[in-house]
Amino acid sequence: MHRSRALSFAAVSDHVREALPRAFRSTWLAWAALVALDLAGRASYLAPRLATSRGALNYLAASVALWLTVRLLQVAPHRPRLALFAVFIALPMAIEWAVFGSYGQFVAPADISLFLESPRVVLQAAGEGGDRYGSLAVFALATASARLLPREVRPLRWWRAGVAALVLLATIATGAVWWRASPSLGHPQPAFVCALAGLMRRATVTAKGAGRIAVPRVDAAPTAARLPNIVLVLGESLAASHLSLYGYARPTTPRLQALADRGELLPLRDAVVMGPHTRTSLPYIMTGIEGPDPSGRVLRAPTVTQYAKARGYHTAFVSAQEESWGELDALLREGADSFRSGIAFAPYVDVLKGADDLVVLEEGVLPAIRTLAEPFFLVVHMDGSHLPYRSHSPPSHKVFPEDGVNSMGAYDNTIRVTDEVVARLFEALRARDPEAWLFFTSDHGQPLGEGGAFYNHGYQSNVVRDPLLVFPPPSSDRAAWEEIARAPASACDLPPTILHLMQIAPLDEAPMDCVDWLAGPPKPRYRVVSALTPTYVDEPTMLVLGPRGERAVYDVWRSTVTLDDGAVRPIAEHPLPPSIAARLDVRHR
């Protein structure tokens, strides 16, 4: 009896000794390490959100999906398992770490589309502003978690593998389509897979018809008033809140401020951009169409330059940027007698860094102002304040200390360049024609840390608040313009206003959405800043500003709206205004 008990005890002891090494190698430990890595990296973000039922359920579902992924990978042999682990788990986590550090959110289907369109540009942007060492550390630690899995292959019965795969697919599908499932509230690995699944829901928008609507030539009557010369300047990545002209503490715009003090410049105080990216904004500034635009009206509408050409203007487009990315040059060339992009002034230009604005001013803009036959319409697209900030100002304009390539000092120094370019352009224009008109708008702003983000991804006030400037000639009605400067405005208002000056009306088959300032100051209205356009990646979001300035961010595919209080509600509880809802294609309702 005692011998039997001794044998049993010895057998158990041997079993325990054999099991102890395996206790440190299991699916649960590898899974726990991956979860801990995310929780440690995003603790300040997740802590208040996991205390809510929505946040807790999101993270629980994502954690289940992660565990199933780890368990399914475990059936692979030991050596290829590490490579699979690195590709399917560690790499997505590293990507999401980099994106979250910049944007405060995870990758969206739109971001993946952008990467597929131009990997070099996206990788270059990530290299300039991302936390590369942190991303490498996340990748290394996540890959090392695979070492916690048992070395031996642990096969699954076919029915268990089938159930696990079905649950995993259902979880991913829910995360990709259900509006209450927020990827940034879950683990980064399943969140990345949900973004990939979201690509399947993207609508392909194509223009109907054959190109842009032609504008019939309109000849001026012999008794008609002289047509004014007009210059439209398109800035880049400029946040109104960082212009001293708009109350910023640093003297970023001393020359423009001097013009405003003399009454030669009016800054519109309540203006918004058209979209949060160049390609969701610039085409709409040029056509006078306001989003959302899922059906692609902007692909058919005539540009302001086309209207100018039809009216008998001599037209030119001068840009510091490389306009071929996203085929913007196809839009911007329309109606231009002369078209010069950044590559004409510097061989190194790309999407992140164009030609030097001061060089383009001297070699392209000022010669155009001096030599264009009248009446002329000139569009200038600046290099402006794009990332990386440090490279967008020469040493002569580095007035503020720069603590890093994308520091606030570096950003503010880029505005000093814009200040000089626009002021000198205005002086040259007035020297040639005292009655000429000059307009300035930025395509979009920059978050500059607002909401924890630094790239123009979203609808932060620094992204959507537009430094919209008007330089009316001395003969204009000053009182009327001061009233306009206090009214709610949009960059979308520029085309109908410019057409009024040109004495030409928008075509009936291509109506413009916004306000002609010369027909009277803008009244309280709804204004839209939208990424739901076919010119970018058809991202289904928009910001709607109400008549009293109230904000509502709509996610059309998830059928949600986020109001000023930060609460997310179904659109049914706060529907789109009818005039804006009417613009949506039936596929997006």
Q: pLDDT tens-digit profile of 171-201?
A: 888 887 665 677 778 899 999 998 888 776 5
Residues 276 and 163 in one domain: no
Residues 185 and 327 in one domain: no
Let me know if residue 254 belongs to a domain.
yes
Residues 59 and 187 in one domain: yes
Which amino acid type is present at position 175?
Answer: G
Let me know if residue 581 belongs to a domain.
no
Lowest mean pLDDT among 98-102, 261-265, 299-303: 98-102
Q: Please, which residues have CB within 8 angstroms of residue 568's CB and are 6 or more apart in sequence?
A: 179, 560, 561, 562
When pLDDT is averaged across residues 362-376 and rounded to a whole number, the result is 97
Residues 424 and 497 in one domain: yes
pLDDT at 208: 40
Let me know if residue 353 belongs to a domain.
yes
Residues 313 and 190 in one domain: no
3-state secondary structure of 282: helix
pLDDT at 127: 63
Residue that is last in its domain, among 492, 522, 552: 522
Let me know if residue 589 belongs to a domain.
no
More confident residue, 176 or 287: 287
pTM over 0.85: no
When pLDDT is averaged across residues 490-496 and rounded to a whole number, the result is 97
Question: Does the pLDDT at position 229 exceed 70?
Answer: yes
Question: Does the pLDDT at position 29 exceed 50?
Answer: yes
**What is the C-alpha to C-alpha distance for residues 149 and 67, in angstroms, rounded to an integer?**
12
Quote the Cα angle for 109-112-116, to 5°.
140
- Number of compact structural domains in the chain: 2
Let me know if residue 565 belongs to a domain.
no
pLDDT at 203: 42
CATH number of residue 267's parent domain: 3.40.720.10
What domain range is 304 assigned to?
230-522
pLDDT at 126: 64
Average pLDDT value for the chain: 86
Question: Does the pLDDT at position 587 exceed 60?
Answer: no
The tens digit of pLDDT for each residue in 39-72 reads 998 898 888 888 878 788 989 999 999 999 998 8
Q: How far apart are the first and last CA of the chain?
A: 79
Let me know if residue 11 belongs to a domain.
no
Residues 295 and 149 in one domain: no
Looking at 51-187, list the stretches that DSSP marks H as alpha helix, in order from N- to C-terminal side. 53-73, 78-85, 91-103, 109-117, 119-129, 132-144, 158-177
Residues 165 and 243 in one domain: no
Most confident of 364-373, 452-461, 523-532: 364-373
Q: How confident is the model at residue 132 (pLDDT cuts 50, 70, 90)?
A: confident
Six token digits for residue 318:
């001068």
When pLDDT is averaged across residues 147-171 and rounded to a whole number, the result is 82
Six token digits for residue 28:
């649960």
Residues 374 and 436 in one domain: yes
pLDDT at 100: 85
Residues 179 and 241 in one domain: no
Rounded to the nearest 10 degrees, what angle do helices 91-103 and 119-129 cross at? 60
Residues 448 and 304 in one domain: yes
Residues 469 and 384 in one domain: yes
When pLDDT is averaged across residues 453-475 and rounded to a whole number, the result is 90
Let me know if residue 390 belongs to a domain.
yes
Residues 313 and 194 in one domain: no
pLDDT at 1: 45
Let me know if residue 47 belongs to a domain.
yes
Residue that is last in its domain, among 153, 186, 201: 201
Residue that is last in its domain, among 471, 500, 522: 522
